[in-house]
């Protein structure tokens, strides 16, 4: 008999703008990743946690030995909980939460291999989803698929947005083709329609996570990153993604409205490697949006576009440069738990 999947139990993944019970985060700890930037990263994570706590409860997971440091920096408005960690990217190794529309919560525990075995060790991070779901006492569905939460975005109505570069990369699921991956996403997230973008940002350590290039802002509407500099490798990549979005239909058969969001004007580098700065890597909270700023001329432009796209929500901009040093942004370090 085939293993029961979330869809068999009536579960699906809601949109990020659906009401939240809380936000989950994880405290920076991998010294080899952050090096001398670890202290600044912790302050930056704490600033994001406090900003989100202005809208909804936040739980920060931290290694037992670093729990007091997390509590001190985050302050009384953020709950801190001891849990073994290797790293701090809650979006990617945390559970993808599901609801059934009848008051029940569940979660998908994906396979996690640290972005194609890029970092070691990752055995504790690979257990975070299971441990969080056990802490909450909710059903856990273990998916036979290596996947990070930052590689997908859903509209809550059966449509999933992703990139070929990441989901079809041989370092994740070498034995699964597009059809097999789509089938698993249907069965574990309740997906009916797929919008496949091509590549993610140039030189992105995540192999092209979609949360750096596009997201749904409401059903039928996608915000997509653009680049107006033809000399930038991202120009052709993002133009191709816009062309794909122009042809796409969602699960309801709608053509997608696209809101364009420019990349930061100034490229940033660390040890000669370009950092994947993107304004679309934001967190949609209860009544708000917490988005990055980079000390870039485009910061106020991006703020205005995001604010206009989320009427009725307060938009808070938090400096994210010290988070980007580790390879991700605000969306990458957060994971929403829906309210049931």
DSSP reduced 3-state for 282: coil
**Proportion of the chain above pLDDT 90, given as a percent:** 99
Which class is domain 6-338? alpha beta
- Note the pLDDT tens digit of each residue in 23-64: 999 999 999 999 999 999 999 999 999 999 999 999 999 999
Judge whether residue 78 has pLDDT over 90: yes
Q: Mean pLDDT across the stretch 272-282?
A: 96
Judge whether residue 2 has pLDDT over 70: no
Listed residue (192, 177, 191, 244) closest to 214, CA to CA: 244
pLDDT for the residue 3: 74
E runs forming strands in the chain: 20-26, 58-62, 79-82, 96-99, 105-111, 139-146, 152-154, 159-163, 193-197, 214-218, 221-226, 257-262, 269-270, 273-274, 283-285, 288-293, 314-319, 335-338
Listed residue (49, 23, 55) closest to 313, CA to CA: 55
* Catalytic residue set: 332
Judge whether residue 1 has pLDDT over 60: no
């Amino acid at each position: 008999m085939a293993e029961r999947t979330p869809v068999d139990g009536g579960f699906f993944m809601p949109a990020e703008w659906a009401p939240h019970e809380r936000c989950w985060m994880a405290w920076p700890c991998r010294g080899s990743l952050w090096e001398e930037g670890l202290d600044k990263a912790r302050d930056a994570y704490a600033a994001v946690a406090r900003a989100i706590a202005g809208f909804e409860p936040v739980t920060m997971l931290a290694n037992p030995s670093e729990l007091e440091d997390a509590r001190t920096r985050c302050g009384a408005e953020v709950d801190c909980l001891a849990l073994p960690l290797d790293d701090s990217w809650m979006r990617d190794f945390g559970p993808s939460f599901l609801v059934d529309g009848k008051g029940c919560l569940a979660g998908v525990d994906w396979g996690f291999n640290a972005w194609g075995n890029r970092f070691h060790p990752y055995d504790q991070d690979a257990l975070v989803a299971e441990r969080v779901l056990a802490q909450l006492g909710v059903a856990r569905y273990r998916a036979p698929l290596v996947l990070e939460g930052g590689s997908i975005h859903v509209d809550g109505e059966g449509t999933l947005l992703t990139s070929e570069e990441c989901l079809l990369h041989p370092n994740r699921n070498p034995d699964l083709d597009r059809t097999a991956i789509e089938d698993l996403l249907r069965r574990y997230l309740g997906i009916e329609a797929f919008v496949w973008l091509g590549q993610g940002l140039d030189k992105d350590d995540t192999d092209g996570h979609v949360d750096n290039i596009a997201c749904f802002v409401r059903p039928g509407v996608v915000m997509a990153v653009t680049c107006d500099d033809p000399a930038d490798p991202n120009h052709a990549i993002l133009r191709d993604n816009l062309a794909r979005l122009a042809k796409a239909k969602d699960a309801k058969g709608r053509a997608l409205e696209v809101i364009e969001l420019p990349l930061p004007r100034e490229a940033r580098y660390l040890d000669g490697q370009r950092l994947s700065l993107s304004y679309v890597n934001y967190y949609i909270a209860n009544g708000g949006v917490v988005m990055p700023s980079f000390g870039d001329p485009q910061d106020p432009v991006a703020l205005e576009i995001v604010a206009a796209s989320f009427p009725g929500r307060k938009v808070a901009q938090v400096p994210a440069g010290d988070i980007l040093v580790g390879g991700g942004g605000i969306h990458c370090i957060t994971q929403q738990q829906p309210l049931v």
